[in-house]
Structure 1
Amino acid sequence: MGARPAPMDCYVYYRVSTAQTDAARDAVARLFALTAGRFGVFGRIQWRADVSANDVALGGTTWMERYDDVDAAFIEVLPQLVVESGLASLLEGERHVECFVDIPTPASPCA
């Protein structure tokens, strides 16, 4: 048996037009219902606390989805779920996915 890959925490950021805020919020709720129902994964949604000059210039905000303790299979299916939820059609530009794993704790030296 091979070692099981370490779970990842994934962060997905993208821009939403101010005019699409309500529709995008509803779509994210549908997305989270899909991730919970199919994978038992409960996401979190946030938006940028400090509005960037880029956000102001483009009339939108940067949003961030967060998923903790997921595997590669989840990340592979996520784009399909984004389309199913209706969120894909509401975004300004692309979604950017970044995943991180915990740094292993060094083994304790023998006494």
Structure 2
Amino acid sequence: MDCYVYYRVSGAHADAARLAVTQLFALTATRFGVVGRLQRRADASSNDIANDSATWMERYDDVGPAFVPALAQMATECGVAALADGGRHVECFVDIPSSPHPCA
């Protein structure tokens, strides 16, 4: 399962949020052996521009079911949750198995 976590960060909190995410990634690596990736939305939304914010995404690949609730706790522990304007939104996806009947 792969998890994607997106949220907005105000320009005023960007440095603090980056530090908090660095701490979060250290926790996920230590506690679960999971290395996270941090991304920023490539095209700023009109809402982001109006509010001097950016949409950030954390990405975690190949995680187990216990990771998701623990991630919320670790985000609170590191302060990331408090710096996310409007909260953190988590979505998890699994691979679709290959079709047993490929096109001819």
Q: Identity, % of aligned pairs? A: 65
| 1:74-103 Cα deviation digits (max 9, x unpaired) | 001111000111111211111111111110
In structure 2, stretches of 5+ residues that fail to align are none
RMSD between aligned alpha carbons?
A: 1.2
* Aligned partner (choices 30, 33, 36) of residue 23 of structure 2: 30
1:65 corresponds to which residue? Answer: 58
The one-letter amino acid paired with 1:102 is D
In structure 1, stretches of 5+ residues that fail to align are 1-7
- Any idea what SS the aligned residue of 1:14 has? strand
In 2: Cα distance, 1:69 partner to 1:87 partner: 22
* Aligned partner (choices 26, 31, 43) of residue 50 of structure 1: 43
1:64-103 matched pairs, under 5 angstroms: 64-103=57-96
Q: Which runs of 4+ in 1 moved over 4 A?
A: none
| 1:13-33 Cα deviation digits (max 9, x unpaired) | 000000111100000000000
- Normalising by structure 2, we get a TM-score of 0.93
Query: Given the alignment of the two structures, is residue 18 of structure 1 paired with residue 19 of structure 2, yes or no?
Result: no
Q: How many residues align?
A: 102
- Any idea what SS the aligned residue of 2:62 has? strand
